[in-house]
Chains A and B, each alone.
Chain A
Amino acid sequence: MTTSLVTTTPGRDTYDVVVIGAGPAGLAATAMAAGAGLSTLLVDENAGPGGQVWRAIASTPVKAPEQLGADYWAGADLVAEVQASGAEIVHRATVWSLDRQLEIGVSVGGMSSFIKARRVILATGALERPFPIPGWTLPGVMTAGAAQTMLKSSGLVPDGRTVIAGQGPLLWLLAAQILRLGGRIDRILDTTERRNYLAALPHVLDFVTSPYFAKGLAMMREVKARVPVTTGVSELAAAGEGQLASVSYVAGGRRETIPVDLLLLHQGVVPNVNLAMAAGIEHRWDDRQLCWSPLLDADGNTSVAGIAIAGDGAGIGGATVAVARGRIAARAAIEALAPAATAKLAAENVLRTALAQAERGRSFLDVLFRPAPQFRIPSGDTIVCRCEEVSAKDILDAVAIGATGPNQLKAYRRTGMGPCQGRLCGLTVTQLMAQARGKSPQDIGYYRLRAPVKPITLAELAAMPQTEADVKAVVRG
């Protein structure tokens, strides 16, 4: 087998397959595509492979295997497979543009270039769902994901008075990881609605026979043995003068306020749609996962010819699902570009069976951890758009005088026009406007997203390769 080339910048300007994102889906797709002999480029924003779930797997200072857990270290095999596959791998690479011609604008080390692909597999993963409660913009309030990033890449854990609030499997995983590394958690505020337990019942058989069940239960037991957990939490609010000082909530009919230095918020993850939407890929509102998901066929192909999506960007499924989807998308690319090479690959039905197995139990989690409306649709002075400091009331006022959707709202309040490009407010704006106008999120729509999906400097754009016309003009001139 060929050894992969980890380079600092793409070696050519055209590839058979370009995979964007080196998380579980991207790694699986890369290993298969390159392994089948296709010229394959894997570009990724981080310093090393792994994405978020296996972040820093090649470099983490947290070496004791039990601290990050078996699921984390499962990524090591796939990383090894990619490294032996012959793929070209570029880390610290930011893809800021992708279009229907399958041309990719990528920035590495402050220099941008364009590469062309015959097929693109987007594996850009998930983002944390916005959690807009009063005071969520105060210093001292962080997302659980940000805390987990620090934990995995630097071994840093909280040591001040820490509260974790929200719901979802990742919340319990993070809590367990913090505790194993000697970090401090004073309380967990579980915002799961009681009625969700009932709603999830029809899916419970599926769940108890899935691998999530035993692992999830063990993790929750581990955390609950060491940290007080308050359930049925509502009316969550952070407060402080310029800095987080306390968190208050209602549980069991009583309002409590506790002093705190760090509040970690988490209510699940949603597909990271920015690059896909900017490429013109059609999405629809997913009413169960309460987010936008791309329209895909069984191979992960999108509405834009030549672009497939695998991993959590295709709809939240977790790491095992992501690996299965990555392989299916890669197999489809190989079938399109080098059909002869498919003979040596796992059969299509084998890959699909693996996906179906990995997906088992997901519907239970989706229903159980469905965030309550009060944590998705804020009111009053609670900030929705952090970049432009627009509150829920501001948005409702704009609706009252004629703003009909997120794009129209820009004319009134500049929401979504700041540097985050809607990542922190988009879902909130859609759901808030849908509720205010009595329409479905699908009818209300989402921001029209455009490149660059990650900002680049003017100097970097100015230094890009010139057009043939420009070069000719200079020659003539």
Chain B
Amino acid sequence: MENKNPISPHIQIYNWHISSLVSISHRITGIINFFTITLIGIWIASLLLGEKNYEYTNLFLSSFFGKFFCLGIIWSFSFQMLSEIRHLFMDLGYGFEPKITKITGLVVLIGSFPLTVIIFVIGRVLI
């Protein structure tokens, strides 16, 4: 017989805290990065098809929306990188004490923003 009892509320009522927030953001940025890399690959491949394609890409990237898009994917990349470092330490068995997870989580969350700016500025200087 099928169990007709209700399921108690879960994600609707459970409190968020820093490490669960970092964990879900890690997944989301991972998916974003997957598509971003694919997109960059397509852009590079499109250069083979002619100079015109470069112009289009350039036009898009120098527009306001293009710059916003750039910053977005750089943030997603920065976050993923920092969070991945946190994960590497966890894989070695370090940083599981609640206090430390909170601190490292905050470092990842907040640190991803300055890192975004740094990568963006370095990119500007190089180009």
A binds B: no
Residues of B within 8 A of A (CB): none
Residues of A within 8 A of B (CB): none
